[in-house]
């Protein structure tokens, strides 16, 4: 079967417009808006509980939204859910496979759910097993698979109907490095062929590697949106310093928090580490070391971190992305 050709056009395949979702008094998503163009890899980056999975569930039509709208190829998820679902492939955070069925039969099942005939499903399953690198395990039951193999087959199920938009929610959680690398390479290959991808993760390095544009999510809001280079440029006037110390002296921390050139400070008491966002940093390093010596704090290791998405999140929120 020939590979489907996905045409890259500067046209939005997804429009999220001021969408809001609450659970009782807790507002999980607070007026989120963004667009994704055809052929683009778009990343949603944020810590656990930021609202990424809730946003994805609403895009997929699995959760109703209270206000705003979500359009996929111009179709409203709320008004035309059946037509929308034909256009999207969903890779959920949880494994959506039947453990007592073989990999091949799982794909056939999901093919039928997406409307493929049995003959179409068989042809497509061969292609998909090749894409996810499980050809030699086609007749093996899923219950015999490793966690990484299950994750890869989970992606294959979402590809059975050749969707226009592939939505992936934390697809590498809890797997070994080899399987993780295989999944990342698969996503890059699919996107390179023109498939539109939305990729959510709290792993900064994955989103940086895969995505053209990135939305950083925190507490139900998008707090930064743009290309990686554009986002990191906002840190041009500041740097992030990471210190490993023998102990975190409370008086010393308070002194640093009120230092003139310190913008944000995050301390990890369990690891005795400190991350500091600083500006006008010509003498700031020597000043920090001197203040540590004065407070009888021994600096064991010191690192200057180049601007990246994790640094930006720290600057914007005062918290680490992995908190």
CATH number at residue 218: 3.40.50.300
pLDDT digits (tens, 9 = 90+) for 30-57: 999 999 999 999 999 888 888 999 999 9
Confidence of residue 318 (pLDDT cuts 50, 70, 90): low
State mean pLDDT over 185-196: 95
Mean pLDDT value of segment 212-216 = 92
What integer pLDDT is reported at residue 234 of this predicted model?
Answer: 66
Report how far residue 149's alpha carbon sits from residue 134's, in angstroms, rounded to the nearest whole number: 8
How many Å apart are CA 239 and CA 256, to the nearest integer? 15
Q: Are residues 208 and 242 in the same domain?
A: no
What was the pLDDT predicted at 10? 63
In this structure, is residue 257 part of a structural domain?
yes
| Phi-psi category of residue 51: left, alpha or beta, with phi > 0 → left and psi -120 to 50 → alpha | left
The number of distinct structural domains making up the chain is 2
Do residue 218 and residue 157 come from a single domain?
yes
pLDDT digits (tens, 9 = 90+) for 288-309: 888 899 999 999 998 887 767 7
Asked if residue 114 and residue 18 are part of one domain, the reply reads yes
Confidence of residue 281 (pLDDT cuts 50, 70, 90): low
Side by side, the strands of the sheet bearing 41-45 are: 88-91, 165-169, 196-201, 41-45, 213-218, 221-227
Most confident of the following: 18-27, 277-286, 311-320 = 18-27
Residue 9 has pLDDT above 60, yes or no: no
CB contact at 8 A, 106 and 157: yes
Q: What is the CATH number of the domain that holds 273?
A: 3.30.70.100
Q: Are 180 and 211 in contact (CB under 8 A)?
A: no
pLDDT of residue 1: 40
Q: 208 with 77, same domain?
A: yes
- If asked whether residues 286 and 262 sit together in one domain, one would say yes
pLDDT at 235: 57
Q: Would you give the distance in Å from CA 183 to the centre of its chain?
A: 13
263 against 90, higher pLDDT: 90
Return mean pLDDT, the chain.
89
pLDDT exceeds 50 at position 7: no
Tell whether 126 is covered by a domain: yes
Identify the pLDDT of residue 2. 42
Residue 5 reports pLDDT greater than 70: no
- Which residues are within 8 A (CB) of 216 and not within 5 positions of it... i.e. 6 or more apart? 45, 46, 222, 223, 224, 225, 231, 309, 312, 313, 316
Cβ–Cβ under 8 Å, residues 12 and 198:
no
- In this structure, are 184 and 293 located in the same domain? no
Q: What is the pLDDT of residue 237?
A: 59
* % of the chain with per-residue pLDDT over 90: 63
Query: Largest alpha-carbon pair distance within the chain?
Result: 76
Specify the higher pLDDT residue, 10 or 205: 205
CA atoms within a 13 Å half-sphere pointing along the CA-CB vector of 153: 32
Residues 85 and 128 in one domain: yes
* Residue 323, pLDDT score: 52
- Name, in order, each residue with C-beta under 8 angstroms of 268's C-beta and a sequence gap of 6 or more: 274, 320
Q: Are 183 and 35 in a shared domain?
A: yes
pLDDT of residue 321: 67
Q: Strands across the sheet with 299-305, in order?
A: 262-268, 273-279, 238-245, 299-305
Q: Which domain holds residue 185?
A: 12-230
**Does some domain include residue 284?**
yes
* pTM, rounded to two decimals: 0.80
Q: 161 and 82: one domain?
A: yes
């Amino acid at each position: 079967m020939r590979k489907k050709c996905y045409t890259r056009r500067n046209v939005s395949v997804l429009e999220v417009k001021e969408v809001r979702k609450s659970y009782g008094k807790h507002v999980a998503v607070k007026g989120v808006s963004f667009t994704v163009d055809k052929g683009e890899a778009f990343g949603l980056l944020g810590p656990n509980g930021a609202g990424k999975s809730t946003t994805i569930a609403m895009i997929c039509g699995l959760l109703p939204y209270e206000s705003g709208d979500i359009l996929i190829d111009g179709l409203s998820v709320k008004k035309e859910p059946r037509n929308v679902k034909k256009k999207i492939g969903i890779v959920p955070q949880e494994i959506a496979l039947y453990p007592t069925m073989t990999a091949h039969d799982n794909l056939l099942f999901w093919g039928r759910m997406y409307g493929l005939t049995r003959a179409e499903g068989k042809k497509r399953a061969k292609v998909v097993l090749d894409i996810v690198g499980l050809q030699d395990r086609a007749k093996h039951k899923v219950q015999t698979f490793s966690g990484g193999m299950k994750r890869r087959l989970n992606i294959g199920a979402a590809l059975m109907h050749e969707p226009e938009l592939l939505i992936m929610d934390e697809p590498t959680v809890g797997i070994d490095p080899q399987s993780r690398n295989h999944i990342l390479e698969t996503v890059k290959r699919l996107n390179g062929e023109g498939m539109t991808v939305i990729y959510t993760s709290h792993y900064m390095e994955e989103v940086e590697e895969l995505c053209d544009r990135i939305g950083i999510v925190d507490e139900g809001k998008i707090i930064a949106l743009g290309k990686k280079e554009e986002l990191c440029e906002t840190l041009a006037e500041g740097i992030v310093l990471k210190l490993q110390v023998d102990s975190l002296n409370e008086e010393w921390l308070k002194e640093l928090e009120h230092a003139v050139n310190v913008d944000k400070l995050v301390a990890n008491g369990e690891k005795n580490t400190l991350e500091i966002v600083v500006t006008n940093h010509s003498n700031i390093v020597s000043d920090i070391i001197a203040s540590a010596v004065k407070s009888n704090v021994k600096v064991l290791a010191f690192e200057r971190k180049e601007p990246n998405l994790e640094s930006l999140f720290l600057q914007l929120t005062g918290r680490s992305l992995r908190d």
